[in-house]
Amino acid sequence: MISNFSYMIADSIINKMRSCLKQICFQNCGFYGDYTTVFPLNYPSIEKITFWNMRFNNKGEFGKYLCLKEIYFMEECETYEFHVDNGITTEYRKINDGVTFDIIFKFINNQSEITQLKPIKIIKSDVYFNDSLKRDYPWSLLTRIGQCTLRDSQTEFTFSMIHTFLTSTVDAQNSPPVRPIDLTISKFKDGDTNMPPQMKDIQAQLRQLAKLRGLNVHKMTINNSGNNIKYILQLQLLKNQGRKLNLTIIENAVIIINNNEEVVIA
């Protein structure tokens, strides 16, 4: 028979292991309720947290990870909200693929409130921008992260949205140099009646349109693999303000040259 003393020793060992754990991965489960706030209490030394094929409650709370340095929201994460019928919660309803910035900023804000001595160094995430750039998020907390890699397969982007996003990096331009932000998107649609109608070259169109939106295109490359064309643009605010951003456009993108003509570029 196992004695209470043996249980106490085993429990002490488990707690010690939890307190020393540096990395944790959650996979194939749901973060639906506020019970998730206990995880950083059970694992207080976590520096790297990975979510893989997860379902998140957009209104959920996740606690404060005191030592967090790296966050990964990987493939097939989804965001849900409560569905309320006559004041009764009946089910969770999926609202988008990837995670919202409501979720991301709960991790970033919580960590930022604790200490500036151990800032988050890496974030890699499938996200859903939608109209988030119109909202009053503390974007600079995200865009100052040294390795910031984002991917959005649903939002239809414009260069104006990229300009708004990069505006949050202006105050950090005197900080030590960091690598460009990486943003991969699947939908892009933009245009301007001031675009020269005789301009037919797609690269020239992109450069001109970016300039009209207050952006420099430092570099542009085209990868053509089979029927899929991928455009990679390195963008920055005019006068080289703020941080650079590597924009990769894949799958489906359209430039409106004027009110009557569209050019499919991918």
Q: Is residue 253 predicted with pLDDT exceeding 60?
A: yes
**Residues 188/257, Cβ–Cβ less than 8 Å:** no
74 contact partners, CB below 8 Å, separation of at least 6: 50, 51, 52, 53, 124, 126
In this predicted structure, what is the pLDDT of residue 201? 80
pTM for the predicted model, two decimal places: 0.86
pLDDT digits (tens, 9 = 90+) for 41-52: 889 999 999 999
pLDDT digits (tens, 9 = 90+) for 8-26: 555 555 666 777 899 999 9
Q: Is residue 177 predicted with pLDDT exceeding 70?
A: no
User: pLDDT confidence of 215, banded at 50, 70, 90?
Assistant: very high
- Kindly report the three-state secondary structure assignment for every residue of 182-231: EEEEEEEEEECCCCCCCCCCHHHHHHHHHHHCCEEEEEEEEEEECCEEEE
Q: What is the CA radius of gyration of the chain?
A: 22
User: pLDDT confidence of 204, banded at 50, 70, 90?
Assistant: confident
pLDDT digits (tens, 9 = 90+) for 81-130: 887 777 776 778 899 999 999 999 999 875 545 444 467 999 999 999 99
Nearest to 76 by CA among 96, 49, 103, 48: 96
Q: Is residue 183 predicted with pLDDT exceeding 60?
A: yes
- Alpha-carbon separation of residue 115 from 24, 64, 110, 199, 254 (angstroms): 21, 11, 9, 51, 43
The residue that leads in pLDDT, 115 or 34, is 34
Phi, psi of 11 (to 5 degrees): -65, -40
> DSSP of 80-142, one letter per residue?
EEEEEETTEEEEEEEEEESB-HHHHHHHHHHHHHH-SSS---EEEEEB--TTGGGS---HHHH
Q: What is the DSSP letter of 76?
A: T
Cα–Cα dist 231/246, whole Å? 10
Mean pLDDT, to the nearest integer, of 167-175? 77
- Side chain identity at 26, as an amino acid letter? F
Nearest to 185 by CA among 248, 266, 232: 248
| In the chain, where the domains are located | 13-128
pLDDT > 70 fraction of the chain, expressed in percent and rounded? 80
